[in-house]
Structure formats: C-alpha cells, structure tokens
Structure 1
C-alpha cells in the first residue's frame, strides 16, 4: 500500500459531519468526506460525478496542532431586502494544523498528488471561506496509514516545534480495520456529493496516539539534572 500525505493548515478550517440548518458545527479534525471532496475538486470532478475511484481509500488524520474553536454568526436578507433569513451560527477551527493520510493504490495516489499540486477547482478546508496555506500535498510514500503517520515529522508551527521535545505524542483518528473494535462512529463515509441526493455511510473510527519525530525539538535531558526526569530510585511516596 502507498499513502498520500496532505498538510491541512490555514487561518480557519471547518469539518462538519452533523451540521443542520442554522447550526453549522465542526469536528475537531478533518472528516473523511471533507478530504475526499477536496481530492475530487482537485481532479475537476463535479458534485454529480460518481466517486467510484475514491470510495475504497483508507483514511487517517493526525492532530498536529488542535487550534481553537471559533464561533461566528451570519445574517442574510432576500434579494429584494424585504425578508431576513434565520440567524446562522457557524463554528470553525482557528490556527489548526493536521496531517491527513490517504492509503490506496500507488498509481491512483500519484495522480491525486499531481491533481492537488495543480487543482482544477480551488481547494478549501471544509468550507469555501477556508483556503489552505502553503503546499497541501507532501507526496506519496510506501507503507500503511498508521505507519506513515508515525514517520512524518511534527507539522505544527515552528514556535511550537522549538518548544517541544524531540519526540511528541499526537492524537490520531484512523479508519477501523475490519473486525477491530471502533472507538466511535461517524456518518462520514462519502457515497455521493450530488446536491439532489447526498449520501453518506457510517464510518468506524479508532482513536489512538502516535509518536512523531520533531527535528526542531529540545534534546532529552539526563535523569537527575534540573528540568529533566527524576532518578529511577527516587520515590517521594515511600515515607507513606
């Protein structure tokens, strides 16, 4: 298996899987349907086009910089200005960075990599008001989604990387393998983006943690040195 890596970063992101009517929520990490939609847009697919080639892809996402939840609201009026539309609350992730991994056939992923580099339609991080910053694709690598997410260096801002250790533990959400016990489920498996008949299946997710290297991080401090880990034979509770 090969894995396509996408660095999803921008001032705002919004990845909703349960948004309805006047409440437009966001998940804490990119959804599979949102990332598949981004790839379809890069290829120039219309919403009514079938997603056949993209439906069997494996998916995982690593939360490199969780950001903060931001709430905004919007008001609108009809074209003639006579009637007001309902107030809409919209939630976003501000200053977040994610590493998305898409696993599948290497030939298909190579084509998706080139499409993201030269997209036919503009790319957005969930909503049209959320463009990405910096190059989105990090290329295609061999391995499984879980393996690659543990190999790629931490993608947070440089300020956070320089303050962090040389190895960091990061939360990741992965497609649950067949037969594995899922941590949670989302109605996030895209079937069709046709506005007249959108369809999403249920997706089983495993929430885990992966260790990622941080080349810009501080080297480990020796045991017993101020600021470093305690000596192995020191137990402050022995007097109890």
Structure 2
C-alpha cells in the first residue's frame, strides 16, 4: 500500500511560531512551524474550540522543509493602561490591572512546505476542512493569515517523495542547477541524528510536552523554485495540487 501525505504551503508576509505556553513580556518565535501551531491551524479549519485537546489530530506527524527562512522581526505592543482603574483580560482567564507591555517576534517573508503523515481518512478530512474552514486559519498568530494557496492536497509516495517534488517557494539561485534547504523531522529522543527539541506537542489548554527533532540539509534541483512571476507561481502550485493528487 502506497503512503499518502497532505502537503501544506505556509507562506505569508508575517508568521510566528511561539514555543512558550505562558504569556511573558517577550513572545518568541522559532524559525520553523511548530507541531502545536500546525495542528492549531488544522483545528481552526475543523472548527475545534479554542483550548480543546488535539483529539484525532494527535495521530498526525509532520516534516518541515524550510523553503525560505525569512527575516526575524519584532514589534512592541501596549494593551490597556488608559486609567488607573482599568483591567485587561489575560490568557489564563483572569484580569490584569494597568498596561500590558509585550515584544513579539515574527518571521517576515518566510515560506515553508509542511508534509503531514497519518491515517489517510484523517488527511482527507483535514484537507477538506482547509478548503472550507470553519474558522480562519492563521500562521501562529491571528494577525498572520496564510497566503493562498496553502492547501496543496494529498499526494502518494510518502514524505520523502513530497520533499523532493513539491515546488520550492523561493527564487532559483544564480549560476547553479541545485538549491540546498533545511528539513526538520520528528525523531526519537535518543536518536543520534537529533539536533534540538521543542516544547510543542499540544495537550489542550496550553499544556505541551517535548518533541525531539533532527535538522538536516536537502539538495534539490533549482528548477523546483517558483520564482517571482505571480501568474506562473499560481499555475505551478495549482498543477502540483490537482495533476499529482491521488
């Protein structure tokens, strides 16, 4: 039986993938999509309530290909503080008096290919929901909607095939026929290939456990790169989804 995968293109002018469960003054972002963030995107599309446990989505694993790493950026937020008596709602359901000051990290102009593996029926259910989402999907924060198209459909051949065939959302490098990108995969905690760990396995209501990851380089043909022409980019992504989908 051939393995199938669901391929997502997560690109936007701004996105953010935090790995802290609390809301400190500094809101971080890692440099690639997190498991909790991607499952949250799917949960929005499926209509799951905020804070719900992942349920059947916990069966999915993901591989991330960093097509374009983007540029780290920060902004500064002030919430409330107009009067000495004002209180501001907090993420834990309580309220805080006075102004809430935060700095928030983002990735600007980044693009990722995310390959989801799991039961084929669940992949189809997730893909259908992404085409007709209950709630608007976002890339880590509600202010970061994904660029279209973000659902590249279900494809046969497994994660390795998708990594090697999905169009690369970047310009082709000058003077070479290949391009090298990083990939991030889930591995066992004692795997010698492991390079880092993230606290991004969601369990509902801002509870997370650690996931061990391996980051490695992948060299691909430069003609996979989409380039800058908007019409050509959309046509190639459309053709990839519908001419190769099983």
* TM-score, with structure 1 as normaliser: 0.80
- The residue that corresponds to 1:9 in the other structure is 11
Residue pairs, 1:50-199, within 5 angstroms: 50-78=53-81, 84-156=98-170, 160-161=171-172, 163=174, 165-177=176-188, 180-181=191-192, 182-192=194-204, 194=205, 198-199=206-207
- The residue that corresponds to 2:222 in the other structure is 214
Structure 1 residues 81, 146: CA separation in 2 closer, same or farther (over 3 Å shift)? farther
TM-superposed CA distance for 1:211, in Å, is 2.4
CA distance in 1, matches of 2:83, 2:129: 41
Unpaired runs of 5+ residues, structure 2, are: 87-97, 226-246
- Of the structure 1 ranges 37-46 and 83-92, higher mean CA displacement relative to structure 2 is found in 83-92
- Of the structure 1 ranges 17-26 and 101-110, higher mean CA displacement relative to structure 2 is found in 17-26
- The residue that corresponds to 1:224 in the other structure is none
TM-superposed CA distance for 1:110, in Å, is 1.1
Structure 1 residues 86, 208: CA separation in 2 closer, same or farther (over 3 Å shift)? same
CA distance in 1, matches of 2:127, 2:188: 25
34, 41, 48: which one aligns with 2:44: 41
CA distance in 2, matches of 1:106, 1:166: 35
TM-superposed CA distance for 1:42, in Å, is 0.4
Structure 1 residues 49, 3: CA separation in 2 closer, same or farther (over 3 Å shift)? same
Deviations 1:45-79 (A, max 9, x none): 11243322111211111111111011100112257
Structure 1 residues 20, 140: CA separation in 2 closer, same or farther (over 3 Å shift)? same
After superposing on structure 2, the runs of 4+ consecutive aligned residues of structure 1 that deviate more than 6 Å are none
* TM-score, with structure 2 as normaliser: 0.78
CA distance in 2, matches of 1:166, 1:61: 23
SS at match of 2:148: coil
Unpaired runs of 5+ residues, structure 1, are: 218-240
TM-superposed CA distance for 1:167, in Å, is 2.5
- The residue that corresponds to 1:200 in the other structure is 208
Deviations 1:90-121 (A, max 9, x none): 11100111111111111110111111111110
The count of corresponding residues between Structure 1 and Structure 2 is 210
CA contact (8 A) 1:162 1:216 kept: no
Deviations 1:171-218 (A, max 9, x none): 0111115763321111111121x2xxx21111010111122333266x
CA contact (8 A) 1:152 1:212 kept: no
Structure of higher CA gyration radius: 1
CA distance in 1, matches of 2:35, 2:8: 12
- Of the structure 1 ranges 207-216 and 125-134, higher mean CA displacement relative to structure 2 is found in 207-216
Superposition CA RMSD, Å = 2.1
